[in-house]
Structure 1
Amino acid sequence: MKVWSPDIPKISQEVHFDNRKFYCFEARPNDVYSMFSQSVKRNPDKEALIVGDYRLTWKELEDWVLRVASGLKILGIKSGDRIALLLSNGIEFVVTTFAASTLGIIIVPISTREKQPGIAFVLNQCGANTIVFDAALRDKLPDLHDIPKMKHQIVVGAISDINSFETLLNSTRLEMVEAINEEDVSAILYTSGTTGKPKGAILTHLNIIHSAMHYVHLMKLRDDDRLLGSVPFSHVTGLVALLMTMVRCGGCLIVMEHFKASTFLKIASDEKMTHTLMVPAMYSLCLIQDYLEVYNLTKWRVGVYGGAPMPASVIQSIAEKLPNLVLINAYGATETTSPATLVPPGETENYPTSIGKVVQCGEIIIMDENGNEKPIGESGEICIKGPMVAKGYWEDPAATAENFSNGYWHSGDIGSVDENGYYYIHDRSKDMINRGGYKIYSIEVENVIHLHPAVLEVAVIGRACPVLGERVHAVVYTVEGQQVSSSELAQLCAEQLADNKVPESFTFLKIPLPRNANGKILKRDLNNLLKVQEVK
């Protein structure tokens, strides 16, 4: 059962992506740049983007985009090429993203927290021929001579021997944009893999357009909304829920490079923020030291959260301090181009543990191990279908076949649906840690720790945290007669992994890790063992 307000645009079934049939919005932009261009035409002189001291109107932002697009074309970068973005949140990321969309170039955002091995893997796996990066991040780059298809480096900042972003910006405006098919790839976003190697989720223009439209219509966003965001644009939430959503509604995006509660609330007050999207941990930090009572937040009307449940105590505290604010829980993943479900506005307090109803064009079934749909109220795997679901994984047919079937993406989350169409998550079938909204596959961390010669067995698990939801914890069993310290293992991980994946604590066991009859480590038993140790 899925009932949304009648003012949402009309939908009908269509066929896309090799005979997948699903619902689509009948009236929609054809591609990402068309969506951008529509907002330019509607609101040319309104503020579109604020980053630090920079304040650009839609018309000014378009000028930057078309100049950089012309510069990319002069370099010979063409439709279908992959351009990697190793950039923090800023004007350069926004401009390059939409400049690429004018030419049919595929963007490949990379987290600035990633380390050299991870960056090298992404560049090689996607076949990027161009990278745009912050000068401050140059030391993170692998030897680009080892990236066979790499041709162009573009730096934001001062490095004399490399093409600069400023040079692109000085180009004359692009006269004509490329013709784009809505099923063409717009972005490749890498997500951790169950084998330890990241998988590149293929996001098409059709995917992104529908996700942006879902957010705008279900949250009733308008062109006078002002969104303040600090979630990295390299993450699907930052790219789609923040950037693309504000482009769709034609409002103003105020960008923070990093989140700090007091700074966030000061900017929110000064800029008259109306809307934001954060993980629950960020809302919790805003409640500390009574920050909410210091600033004028009367314009703040929509607060979306996702990535983890919001504690009931936090929901209640925010409702008391900000009675005009509507909290909305959203659930999605990189493979669903962000939202798959949302709690309808005004219903969060009535359904505090629910992830909401499926989005307008989406379909969800709760599936058992044999692929059969489970009845209402019974638990099974959450499987998602719709125009926002990725085509698959870039150059990875095995992973695509494993995770996508009959048009559905298999989430790995165990959940159920009630008689009113509200969905709930009960567990995860995939071995994953949710740290502040970031999904971390345990095996990726375990593979690095196993590199140490003193480590015989290791299991990486999530430990409960009231702020982040879970923190990364490693349980280690060493080779007899050998020792290793937690600081050594943390340093090893820090050299290979993004900082949010590095274990924050370690437990060293004197006995082998518990396993079942098939030899699989019993991580639930480990969690119970650690709880007993804490009680002692």
Structure 2
Amino acid sequence: MRGDLEFGSIPGLVRTAAERYAEREAVVDGRVRITYRQLGEKIERAAAACLAAGVEAGDRVAVWAPNTPDWIVSALGAVTAGAVLVPVNTRFKGAEAAQVLARTRARLLFVTGTFLGTSYVAALRSAAGRAVPGVGRPGGVPGAGPLPGLPHLRDVVVLADAAPADFRTWKEFLAAGDAVSGTAVRARAGAVVPGSASDILFTSGTTGEPKGAVITHAQTLRAFGVWGELAGLQEGDRYLIVNPFFHTFGYKAGVIASVMRGATMVPQPVFTPESVPARIAAERISVLPGPPTLLQALLDHPARATYDLSSLRVVVTGAAVVPRLLIDRLRGELAIPTVLTAYGMSEATGVVTMCRRGDPAEVVAGTSGRAVPDTEVRVAGPGGAAAAPGEAGEILVRGYQVMSGYFEDPEATAQVLGPDGWLRTGDVGVLDADGNLRVTDRVKDMFIVGGFNAYPAEIEQVLARHPGIAEVAVVGVPDARLGEVGKAFAVRRTGGGGGAGADVTPDELIAWARREMANYKVPREVEFVAELPRNASGKVRKGQLRERAARSGRCGDGTGSS
């Protein structure tokens, strides 16, 4: 199915789904049961409220909230109003979220109230009271918004029943749109063309500064029409969306793919080993994509036998090494007929390669499958020439799903996207004779913590702000529960510069880091060293640090609990 041709745009998809699957359940969350017809009405009402708030076509609208029905309605409402969606990582601290809002000059923000014991409103207020990097970037006219540090942000809507005086509740926001006619909403939605930007998904690079991949409506619809076809997603499937909506896997492989196919979305705000099997049994879940850590926890649940998990028929995983035993257990112990692995990245709309139904277990566990249709994947050896099958090199991608570029960052775009359309992924891989891709390493030193990408340069920049730290390097090390976690090698500050480095301990640095960055980025270990190993050009030898970490095992100079 060519979704970009059938629907034209995400607003077109929403409208078609509301008609095609009208009385089928679209979203289920506890007692909340929303049909596709009702979902279409709710999204149109949210779009009307966006118009009433002054949102223009192309304005950036951000959502900083967990997986809930309100996320789906607010996000798709903004996109229906012609806005460009900016999903914000719920693991971010206030300063990290404010940086994304500043860089995109977001016009409107939907934010959750309290989530996992944290007031996101308070965190944002605190961060926006300080200077925010990127605020001074050109473009747009700042207004008299509620947060002085974010002058372009004109409106903040709290997805709750209460909000500060200068913010609005979700109910108040929606009510303000009742004066906008359905004709005006449909006219705005109809003006969205396939080549319009639909969203900006942020990922960090080796510089440590977030970069936003700009993706269009056509790319999103076409890529996830293909994804749904290859995964075997069907009308009437019940899809437990554990992957966070701020990520391509949650938003597009979850929400967009479900709406395309008429599947029922069951959003899961937080994954816990206790909640998922109960939800699968209660809602008769048939589709469960997620990282290997989630699937391992499901298999190892001590009370698994007490739950009826027989409804599961499709599992898609990736984002980390997938053990062969995991695939065998999913197919054998749970009798899941379709278990697939895949590889993608935000810069390529989240879809590059994918296994096919019927692939043997060794292909599913040992590779990330083959290039999806109309996509080229090659491995570049030394000098950029194509590597022979079985030889390692940098993975390059070319196809319809490759981003147009990073948002307002032509220099960073030029570093990864050539004039010939080939995207440099920064990952090292091997292609076999059948075209199956095995990702073996990461050029960018990225490591994956429980399914979340962690970038050492970004973490190092934060740790280096500690007054007791002179230098620091972070590498990924194996972890039985999360797959990988960060280990920091730090040099204490001595002498001048206000340093009290001689007194800082590993636990103190870890505790400090927890206050400054999302939890998955926080190193679980800190080892203090006299100096960092460097090559002749002065670059830190990360390979030596990984070897040192492997020799010492866990709990070197000090550790902190996760």
TM bin (shorter chain):
over 0.9
**Counterparts of 1:30-179 in structure 2 under 5 Å?**
30-136=8-114, 137-141=120-124, 142-143=127-128, 144-157=147-160, 158-161=162-165, 162-170=167-175, 171-172=177-178, 174-175=182-183, 176-178=186-188, 179=191
Partner of 1:20: none
Out of 300, 322, 327, which is 2:334 matched to? 322
What do residues 90-113 of structure 1 show as CA deviations (whole Å, max 9, x unaligned)? Answer: 111100121112221011111121
Partner amino acid, structure 1, of 2:389: I
CA deviation after TM superposition for structure 1 residue 160, in Å: 4.8
Q: Structure 1 CA distance, aligned partners of 2:549 and 2:164?
A: 53
Partner SS state of residue 193, structure 2: coil
Partner of 1:347: 359
**Counterparts of 1:170-189 in structure 2 under 5 Å?**
170=175, 171-172=177-178, 174-175=182-183, 176-178=186-188, 179-189=191-201
Determine if the alignment matches structure 1 residue 478 to structure 2 residue 492: yes
**Counterparts of 1:329-478 in structure 2 under 5 Å?**
329-351=341-363, 352-405=365-418, 406-478=420-492
Contact 1:448/1:492 (<8 A) preserved: no
Partner of 1:515: 534
Determine if the alignment matches structure 1 residue 198 to structure 2 residue 213: no
Greater shift, 369-378 or 30-39, is seen at 369-378
Q: Structure 2 CA distance, aligned partners of 1:109 and 1:332?
A: 18
Q: Structure 2 CA distance, aligned partners of 1:464 and 1:199?
A: 27
Q: Structure 2 CA distance, aligned partners of 1:428 and 1:240?
A: 24
Partner of 2:142: none
Partner SS state of residue 169, structure 1: helix
Partner amino acid, structure 2, of 1:174: G
Determine if the alignment matches structure 1 residue 505 to structure 2 residue 525: yes
- After TM superposition, the score normalised by the length of structure 2 is 0.88
What do residues 148-188 of structure 1 show as CA deviations (whole Å, max 9, x unaligned)? Answer: 21111111120152222112333436332421121111111
What do residues 168-213 of structure 1 show as CA deviations (whole Å, max 9, x unaligned)? Answer: 3334363324211211111111101211110011111012112211
Structure 1: gaps spanning 5 or more residues: 1-8, 10-23
Partner SS state of residue 350, structure 1: helix
Contact 2:395/2:428 (<8 A) preserved: yes
Partner of 1:492: 512
CA deviation after TM superposition for structure 1 residue 291, in Å: 4.0
Q: Structure 1 CA distance, aligned partners of 2:4 and 2:196?
A: 18
Matched residue count: 513
Partner of 2:310: 298
Partner amino acid, structure 1, of 2:56: K
CA deviation after TM superposition for structure 1 residue 383, in Å: 0.8
CA deviation after TM superposition for structure 1 residue 26, in Å: 7.9
Partner SS state of residue 91, structure 2: coil
Contact 1:329/1:348 (<8 A) preserved: no
The verdict on how the C-alpha distance between 1:97 and 1:26 changes in structure 2, with shifts beyond 3 A counting, is: closer
Higher strand proportion: 1
CA deviation after TM superposition for structure 1 residue 27, in Å: 4.1
What do residues 42-88 of structure 1 show as CA deviations (whole Å, max 9, x unaligned)? Answer: 11001000123211000111111111111111111110111111111
Contact 1:341/1:359 (<8 A) preserved: yes
What do residues 220-255 of structure 1 show as CA deviations (whole Å, max 9, x unaligned)? Answer: 211111100121101111111111110111110001
Q: Structure 1 CA distance, aligned partners of 2:40 and 2:210?
A: 34
What do residues 470-496 of structure 1 show as CA deviations (whole Å, max 9, x unaligned)? Answer: 011111122347231123222332232
Partner of 1:525: 544
Greater shift, 160-169 or 376-385, is seen at 160-169
CA deviation after TM superposition for structure 1 residue 502, in Å: 0.9
Q: Structure 2 CA distance, aligned partners of 1:47 and 1:251?
A: 8
Partner SS state of residue 374, structure 1: coil
The verdict on how the C-alpha distance between 1:419 and 1:534 changes in structure 2, with shifts beyond 3 A counting, is: closer
Partner of 1:21: none
- Percent identity, aligned pairs only, is 29
Q: Structure 2 CA distance, aligned partners of 1:434 and 1:89?
A: 21
Structure 2: gaps spanning 5 or more residues: 115-119, 129-146, 496-501, 557-562
The verdict on how the C-alpha distance between 1:86 and 1:324 changes in structure 2, with shifts beyond 3 A counting, is: closer
CA deviation after TM superposition for structure 1 residue 413, in Å: 0.8
